[in-house]
Chain A
């Protein structure tokens, strides 16, 4: 499951283990397309990583903190540290590989 969070909730989060953040916006077509793909991927990785969705319009500080220039951007965080990022829409297989190589 991909959980929608805001920057304050994110700050308070226990960041141990692997977290996958989806930076998006309501007006962004590719973001809308990527959301259901990420949802599927998150089911496959249930228990191995936590998945979050971040609206960049509502949470500009968090987007800035992670250096988001383009969306959709998928950021992998390991124990609080950003380890990898993928920008743009990608098919499920590619997204799965991206998450799995960072776990």
Chain B
């Protein structure tokens, strides 16, 4: 497997700047995320304080960022990251569509506005999971609940339904799909809490209560400590030092994920620092290899 010098997760200002800086420093870069940059950029009304781009509408800013990245030869790989594993002197990055390897990783995945449901974190790994395709094999002859946040999740539901006896699908978006068979779709239901009792996962909602062998919560973003097992947090944010280094050697973080203020130029600045820190980490790594 090709091992990239630096993998960058996230295509907001932090991730794009990190990837551009890494490219300037002649490193091989894997940039994972949304090809349209971050929604937080593209859907902003006007940004007034970004140096050099005065009073720019969000969609134009996103375009300017993406054009800059493209001009530098930075390509975006559109894939959803499930987990990043620190393997010692490299990282294994498990994505939806495949696995990747990189010597260092920069996490610029932004902040999720979504809060976990009561009981979600407590039951993670015993009834609660974030990846239906990963655990599908476990669900042969069993039942599952999927709480979905995007139409892309319908594919995951179909994959799971090939193995499971029954799948309850609760879309939290405007559902216009055509799931059927052993998939029961219920729209307009808001999950409230998760419990695990007698080997059954129980989801209470503002409507009915659902019970199954497991619950899959397919959010667009997952908590950083779930994304990178062993990552040290400071409240809701990833703990970093001034070089944007985390507690995991070779793994850096930048942008909103590291804390306030949530400003575009702060995110881009941190992306720059994180990339330069990753570059010097790679130099040290090379020295210690020789």
Query: Binary interface profile of B, 78-89, with partner A (CB < 8 Å = 1, else 0)?
Result: 000011011110
How distant is the Cα of A34 from the Cα of B125 in the complex, in angstroms? 16
Q: In chain B between 112 and 137, which residues have their CB closer than 8 angstroms to a CB of chain A?
A: 125-126, 134-135, 137
Least CB distance from A35 to B in Å reads: 10
Is B73's beta carbon under 8 Å from chain A? no
Contact of A91 among B82, B135, B138, B229 (CB under 8 A): B229
Complex: chain A residue closest to B126, CB-CB: A69
How distant is the Cα of A33 from the Cα of B230 in the complex, in angstroms? 13
Pick from A1-9, A47-55, A82-90 the stretch touching chain B.
Answer: A82-90
Q: Which residues on the A side are within 8 Å of B64 (C-beta)?
A: none
Q: In chain A between 28 and 53, which residues have their CB closer than 8 angstroms to a CB of chain B?
A: 29-30, 33-34, 36-37, 40
Contact of B88 among A27, A40, A70, A90 (CB under 8 A): A40
Interface size counted on chain B using CB atoms at 8 A: 18
Least CB distance from B27 to A in Å reads: 23
How distant is the Cα of A89 from the Cα of B84 in the complex, in angstroms? 10
* Dominant SS among interface residues on chain A: helix
What size tier do the contact residues of chain A reach?
10 to 19
The reply to whether B125 and A89 form a contact with Cβ atoms under 8 Å apart is: no
Q: Which residues on the B side are within 8 Å of A36 (C-beta)?
A: 87
Is B92's beta carbon under 8 Å from chain A? yes
The reply to whether A33 and B87 form a contact with Cβ atoms under 8 Å apart is: yes
Question: Would you give 19 A-B contacts (Cβ < 8 Å), ordered by A?
Answer: A29-B82, A29-B83, A29-B134, A30-B85, A33-B83, A33-B87, A33-B94, A37-B87, A37-B88, A69-B125, A70-B126, A88-B229, A89-B230, A90-B230, A91-B85, A91-B230, A92-B88, A93-B249, A94-B230
Residues of A within 8 A of B (CB): 27, 29-30, 33-34, 36-37, 40, 69-70, 87-94
Residues of B within 8 A of A (CB): 82-83, 85-88, 92, 94, 125-126, 134-135, 137-138, 229-230, 248-249
